[in-house]
Structure 1
Amino acid sequence: YFSVYGEPQIPKPGSHSWMVPWLSLQARLGRPMRLNGGGVQVRDLVHVEDVAEATALALVEEGMAGRTVNVGTGRPTSVREVADLLTPYFPGARRIVTPRPEGDPLGGYASTERCRELLRWRARIDVAQGVDRYVRWLESTPEAVPRWLVEENA
């Protein structure tokens, strides 16, 4: 699996992965979205529903026995692109550029040919749709915002 995201994903204290939830929560709380290293890092963001579908197919597809496939979209999405998608949902959302943490990979994306061939599957939820679904879930579930995050830097 590449970078899985989607509702009801909420980051744990001390974690800074899970780009869509992190940036969404920061913007929702009126905090700046941090673009470490300018936000040029890319990830292959694949929605959890697409991951579930690919996994279910892999369990029943005979040609998958002993095989490995990448489950992703095959498309790179930068941190900056995610911030761009989130901005319309949070008027006044700010961004700050911070240094890229040591060891933070510039990223990559999945080669999905084998997955398409063996499972006849491809991700259906693009990042714009996934971000929209996540933000709508977050807005309809205010209790999902973790208390530790609200209290952090309060």
Structure 2
Amino acid sequence: MAWFATAALGLPLHLNGGGHQIRDLIHVNDIATATVRALIAPRAHNETINIGTGTPTSIRTVAELVAEQYPQTRFVETPMPPGDPLGGYATTHRMKAVLGWRPTITVKDGVARYTAWLAKTPQAIPAWLRAQSEAAAA
């Protein structure tokens, strides 16, 4: 959320280590759907199932998608914090086999949905971040 609000307020997005870390990003609606499917799937009882997309997405890619929504977005490359993992992504074979399901919301669509929600719900931007934006503008 902070990144979207930061970009909406015109503040730069900080890309630690250039944003090359990899994450498996899944939309909360897909997580909810997977959870319900796991509760009712007969084969899911006593199983451990990774819920994810199985797709590696770099933090830089997400930043670029955010910038598509907020064209004034600037990036600032910062050093990689100690201990920040380079990341990974989920193995989803069991999820597909046991739940008979795969996520349907792409990262690009998720970013668009969230920015649309934030435009309708500006009060969701924390006061401390608004103050930081106002201080930067002064």
| TM-score range normalised by the length of the shorter chain | over 0.9
Structure 2 distance, partners of 1:122, 1:65, is 18
Task: Structure 1 unaligned segments of length 5 or more: list them.
Answer: 1-20
Q: Which amino acid aligns with 1:45?
A: L
Partner of 2:41: 61
In the alignment, structure 1 residue 87 sits paired with structure 2 residue 60: no
Answer with 1 or 2: which has the greater Rg: 2
Partner of 2:56: 76
Partner of 1:16: none
Aligned match for 2:92, one of 108, 112, 116: 112
Aligned match for 1:51, one of 27, 31, 37: 31
TM-score by length of 1: 0.84
Which stretches of structure 1, 4 residues or longer, exceed 2 Å deviation after superposition? Answer: 151-154
Superposed CA RMSD in Å reads: 1.1
Partner of 1:32: 12
Partner of 1:98: 78
CA deviation profile, 1:105-141 (whole Å, cap 9, x unmatched)? 1000000000000000100000000000000001111
Task: Structure 2 unaligned segments of length 5 or more: list them.
Answer: none
Aligned match for 1:138, one of 118, 123, 137: 118
Partner of 1:22: 2
Identity among equivalent positions (%) equals 49
User: Tell me, what secondary structure is at the counterpart of 2:5?
Assistant: helix
Structure 2 distance, partners of 1:131, 1:61, is 30
Q: Which amino acid aligns with 1:91?
A: P
Aligned match for 1:125, one of 105, 129, 132: 105
Structure 2 distance, partners of 1:137, 1:72, is 23
From the two aligned structures, give the one with the greater helix fraction.
2
Tell me the CA shift for residue 146 of structure 1: 0.9
